[in-house]
Amino acid sequence: MKTLKKALLSLLIASAMGAASTVAVAETDAGRITYAPTEAIDMVSSKVKASLDALTTGAESDAVAKLIKDALDASKEINANDKVDMARSRANNKLKSARNHLKQGSTQEAEQELRDAYKGFQDLKGLL
């Protein structure tokens, strides 16, 4: 009887935890769009390429910085595994560095950082 009570109690606790678990009922919000890792990488790469193209055509530094910020925000959608996340973080650091170089007025360094970031994001596909 004692063993039966323990088994029933543990079963009750386990079922209660499963019913209230956020993982068990995890869904995306109604207005939120989720992307597959390759789609997210392509999206971010295109944003980085757009900011690089804007910089090379002579756009204003503020406009290019806004494009870089959009790419940084979009990179949060890339989530696959730890290796991809670490490589994404390194590419993000290149983007942040490019934005800082733009604020300081050194466009040559910013352009090189953007090229490195673009290559970094393209290399993420090999880690999937």
The band of 81, judged by pLDDT with boundaries at 50, 70 and 90, is: confident
User: Is residue 100 assigned to a domain?
Assistant: yes
CA distance 4 to 59: 74
Listing DSSP states for 46-69 in one string gives HHHHHHHHHHHTT--HHHHHHHHH
pLDDT in tens, 7-58: 888 888 887 776 655 554 555 556 666 777 888 899 999 999 999 999 899 8
Structure tokens at 92: 């993000």
Give the residue numbers spanning the domain of 65: 35-127
Question: pTM for the whole thing?
Answer: 0.72
User: Is residue 11 assigned to a domain?
Assistant: no
- The total number of structural domains in the chain stands at 1
Residues 56-83 as b or e (16 or more Cβ within 10 Å = b): eeeeebeebbebbeebbebbebbebeee
User: Is residue 14 assigned to a domain?
Assistant: no
- Which CATH number do you get for residue 78? 1.20.120.660
User: Is residue 15 assigned to a domain?
Assistant: no
